Structure 1
């Protein structure tokens, strides 16, 4: 069996894994509620809120424009360039695109010793040549990616515009971010790069992604992803009959893994597994030379994620061995087991200032906050103990990751932008 090493970020975590199975408290300490309530009454904050309302037609227009710029996995460049121009037009002090394609816009504070980031991701799940033109049916916008996460991008943009137009100055630097690679096999490559490079150093991270007003994601759902490929000589289905067939071995591996993983996930902290794609072969009358499958495994527990990973590897090797024992003609099969995704688990205490401020700000909008667990850009900072939350993008939405995706603006649409601004300014400090 392949030997697995426990990553440093898991060893460094001190949180109690059992907490992940409990409902975390959303109680707000009075000091934070007073801080937020005072901030809400500030004239410049109120002015920014009014500007957000006035900017609604432009925010809407920007949403349509960005949605119609395709941003397939690993091909976000065109959208990144336009988004970079939008941030420059909105008045950021400095805007650049980094080595992996992230768009970064710095808004300087009085003190550059800390940086507070506000993020949304540039990429969508849809491949090249997907029709991403926006259709309006009544008040509803229909288009692949219109909600996830193009809406988040325009929220970040409108927050910047409102802060500049209301002349809001912050104590610490603010970094507006459009990340690449949040979806699928992108494997959080944009945010991983930011925290690995550590330039600029980010002290607090606020992401905007799916969900309604009131959602505060402070718990990271970890996942491992694998591509498993059985390989053989291939041949004609009649003339070469008897040669090893990779599809047959892969089928055995699926059956073995499903049986073992189903038993393992029946108890303990929630853990899931899914074989999402299978492929290989050239024609119906050809023995395939390879058979591949992509496997997704998730868990609230880093330890259990490693354990189900071990189950996958063990059952795959068992299937290979058992199948090869039956091969009597030609060469045996081989298997490649490739890890193609690694999203760490983790969670942050609701007592952290950023989470307290996020909950207090939500209550200031007469909405009850609720803490969630998800797989977002925040996984990376959460896993290394940096204060981070992911906020909902407001409005009503459905059909995410489908061609029928839709987003409908309602009263929570502009409120979600105001909430993001309020949390950002509270964390960065109003100068």
Structure 2
């Protein structure tokens, strides 16, 4: 698509989490017994049946929400429709906060704690992207249908099932559709939820990811910068010799790649990526600016700060070295803007929420796997607040691509039941 066909330069290593960020785990007996007791509760059993019977409607909800574009900072229309759906599902109170998060409170018996179940409203795709869902056999194709619109449909299904089955919890449950998870949204929705003075949140369950059994308890930290080289610009013939920002930015990428590549070769996994480049007005014009956006990630906060330092040093070195070659006119200037910051962190494997999630996953005969990722859970994890991100079930692939797809196999409804079981276990069954 022409609007997003900007030059992409992949530097260094894949951003995918590999085996070092995944750990298969077993169930502790005490939590196995606890989850089995909850699973045998008549109302919980009824809720599982309801989730199964809701499958056609859940898929309709998925298609409808997918076809409402929702780039970061432009989630309003999708948020409004999601809010209507949440209202129809039933809640004690529903509202939209200052940044656009859609929130629905379901009061608990004791009201001493608050547990969040959340999926994010936004997708990575620009507003003009064709998001019409196309069906080939049983597979649905559309940008954003998995990441994370499927999560929104699951949140709705859990709420409907709990209300219809009349499941009571000890703690308050806050159902949420959160803005700004993707890209330059920079987790702004969840950051707002945890701002000082907002509602106290005691546990956080996000739905965002693939396989049934994924339990994300480790936050992958990241820093993102927009780097801009600025100059006077001019005609490619008449102003030849004037400083050219594109030439300088090419030098800066080479400098950064050389030093950063050596830096990430050892120690905790760290990656970097020049993801977008822009600037210039025409082929026969010397550009007045050239910019790029850079993503850096690491499992180690110290390592992340180290590669940030390398970025700043190499950008400044490239500027100075390039300016030595300028034959006439003003020298280039450099602007470094931090456009994203996601904190890293890890929660211990013996945290009760994680042990409940492990036991609940095993309850549905899936292999629980602890993983690391960059999700809304980064914020509570970094604050030491119990949090997990769990998978959406079904089969899906090509997230963040125009040919993203989702197939609702037998693990689709199981993932919804799993989300409900973890939520009820953490919020406390009060029937």
Q: What range is the shorter-chain TM-score in?
A: over 0.9
1:163 maps to: 162
Alpha carbons of structure 1 residues 208 and 222: separation in structure 2 relative to 1, 3 Å: same
1:54 maps to: 53
CA offset digits 1:186-240 (Å, max 9, x no partner): 0000000110145221100000011110000000001100000000000011111
2:9 maps to: none
Q: C-alpha separation between the residues in 1 aligned to 2:333 and 2:198?
A: 43
2:140 maps to: 141
1:428 maps to: 427
Q: Secondary structure at the match of 1:282?
A: coil
**Could you tell which deviates more after superposition, 167-176 or 323-332?**
323-332
C-alpha displacement at 1:64, in angstroms? Answer: 0.8
Q: C-alpha separation between the residues in 2 aligned to 1:403 and 1:367?
A: 30
Contact 2:24 / 2:368 at 8 angstroms: preserved in 1? no
1:11 maps to: none
Q: C-alpha separation between the residues in 1 aligned to 2:385 and 2:162?
A: 25
Q: C-alpha separation between the residues in 2 aligned to 1:261 and 1:165?
A: 55
Q: Secondary structure at the match of 1:111?
A: coil
1:248 maps to: 247
CA offset digits 1:237-294 (Å, max 9, x no partner): 1111111111111111000000000000110000000001111111111110000010
1:405 maps to: 404
Contact 1:205 / 1:378 at 8 angstroms: preserved in 2? yes
Alpha carbons of structure 1 residues 121 and 378: separation in structure 2 relative to 1, 3 Å: same
Alignment coverage as a number of residue pairs: 412
2:69 maps to: 70
Alpha carbons of structure 1 residues 87 and 22: separation in structure 2 relative to 1, 3 Å: closer
Q: C-alpha separation between the residues in 2 aligned to 1:350 and 1:198?
A: 29
Q: C-alpha separation between the residues in 2 aligned to 1:195 and 1:144?
A: 29
Contact 1:24 / 1:350 at 8 angstroms: preserved in 2? no
Contact 2:221 / 2:297 at 8 angstroms: preserved in 1? yes
CA offset digits 1:288-336 (Å, max 9, x no partner): 0000010000000000000000000000000001111122311111000
Q: CA RMSD in A?
A: 1.1
CA offset digits 1:52-81 (Å, max 9, x no partner): 001111101111111111111210000001
Q: C-alpha separation between the residues in 1 aligned to 2:98 and 2:196?
A: 10
Alpha carbons of structure 1 residues 403 and 24: separation in structure 2 relative to 1, 3 Å: closer
Given the alignment of the two structures, is residue 293 of structure 1 paired with residue 298 of structure 2, yes or no? no
1:73-112 matches, within 5 Å, as 73-112=72-111
1:45 maps to: 44
Alpha carbons of structure 1 residues 368 and 21: separation in structure 2 relative to 1, 3 Å: closer
Q: C-alpha separation between the residues in 2 aligned to 1:302 and 1:373?
A: 14
C-alpha displacement at 1:22, in angstroms? Answer: 6.9
Q: C-alpha separation between the residues in 2 aligned to 1:279 and 1:392?
A: 35
Given the alignment of the two structures, is residue 173 of structure 1 paired with residue 172 of structure 2, yes or no? yes
CA offset digits 1:159-204 (Å, max 9, x no partner): 0000000000000000001000000010000000110145221100
Q: C-alpha separation between the residues in 1 aligned to 2:72 and 2:195?
A: 21
Q: C-alpha separation between the residues in 2 aligned to 1:24 and 1:214?
A: 11
Q: C-alpha separation between the residues in 2 aligned to 1:215 and 1:141?
A: 22
C-alpha displacement at 1:116, in angstroms? Answer: 0.2
Q: Any gaps of 5 or more consecutive residues in structure 2?
A: 1-18
Contact 2:22 / 2:369 at 8 angstroms: preserved in 1? no
Q: Secondary structure at the match of 1:297?
A: strand
Q: C-alpha separation between the residues in 2 aligned to 1:25 and 1:353?
A: 17
2:304 maps to: 305
1:4 maps to: none
2:283 maps to: 284
2:153 maps to: 154
Contact 2:229 / 2:248 at 8 angstroms: preserved in 1? yes
1:29 maps to: 28
C-alpha displacement at 1:31, in angstroms? Answer: 1.2
Q: C-alpha separation between the residues in 2 aligned to 1:363 and 1:147?
A: 24
1:351 maps to: 350
Given the alignment of the two structures, is residue 378 of structure 1 paired with residue 389 of structure 2, yes or no? no
C-alpha displacement at 1:21, in angstroms? Answer: 5.1
2:363 maps to: 364
2:206 maps to: 207
Q: Secondary structure at the match of 1:206?
A: strand
Q: Secondary structure at the match of 2:262?
A: helix
Please report the TM-score for the alignment, with normalisation by the length of structure 2: 0.94
1:14 maps to: none
Q: Any gaps of 5 or more consecutive residues in structure 1?
A: 1-19
**Could you tell which deviates more after superposition, 371-380 or 191-200?**
191-200
